[in-house]
Amino acid sequence: MASRVLLFALLALVLSQAIASDPSPLQDFCVADMNSPVFVNGLVCKNPNFTTPEDFFFKGLDQPGNTMNKLGFNANLVNAMALPGLNTLGISLARLDFAPYGLNPPHTHPRATEVFTVVEGTFYVGFVTSNPDNKLFSKVLNKGDVFVFPEGLIHFQFNVGKTSGFGISGLSSQNPGLITIANAVFKSNPPISDDILAKAFQLDKKIVDWIQTQL
């Protein structure tokens, strides 16, 4: 009897994990109600009787972003917060602008796969697999090329051209999330102890302290 109970418990655990994902929409759309005080996993639906075409419209991706920064990079993310009609649809997109030799530094999207399409420019891109292999998959992309970054894996995009470039990324979540590795590790709030970082990266603590001042 005990073994049967254990078996059923394990089956229940496995099944609960198998169905633990975003549910499919139960109506045609669920435009986000930005004024609702209710906190849910996602965004509360607006009354469909008050929905307008503007809820499904976003203007501005034709305009280049400001790349006058240390990285020479700018991202204009169109998610459910910017385009309410995306709520519950499981997608978003972004325009990525790069100055010459601009970099979108190593980062992850914890909730989304990314598909990057080059519109203008030449880019060196890649992602790294998880432990223990940490294998790098990389490629030089030109105008019209497409590259996919699997969900949760560290990846980057680097403009190797002498002119500005940009691309469009599709993401498989209305809220893909973003973790920039250098910022998360060396610029956390409160900061991670420099003793920990020095040992983790096998660096002198003075170098760790210097890196923390540069971000």
Strand partners, 170: 93, 115
- Known binding residues for Mn(2+) are 107, 109, 114, 155
15 token code pair: 């099944």
- The pTM of the full predicted model, rounded to 2 decimals, is 0.85
pLDDT on residue 42: 81
Write out pLDDT tens, residues 33-50: 988 888 888 889 999 999
Closest of 163, 154, 157 to residue 140, by C-alpha: 157
At residue 6, does pLDDT exceed 50? Answer: no
Q: What is the pLDDT of residues 79-128, one digit of tens each?
A: 999 999 999 999 999 999 999 999 999 999 999 999 999 999 999 999 99
As annotated, the binding site includes 104, 107, 109, 114, 155
Strands (E), 129-201: 136-141, 146-149, 154-159, 165-171, 179-180
Contact 166, 120 (CB under 8 A): yes
Domains in the chain, please, with CATH?
A: 17-52+65-176 (2.60.120.10), 178-214 (no CATH)
- What average pLDDT score do residues 135-148 get? 98
Which residue, chain included where needed, has tokens 């880019």? Answer: 123
Work out the end-to-end distance of the chain between its first and last CA atoms, rounded to an integer number of angstroms: 59
Mean pLDDT in residue range 43-64: 94
Quick: pLDDT tens for 152-207: 999 999 999 999 999 999 999 999 999 999 999 999 999 999 999 999 999 999 99
Annotated binding site for oxalate: 104, 109, 114
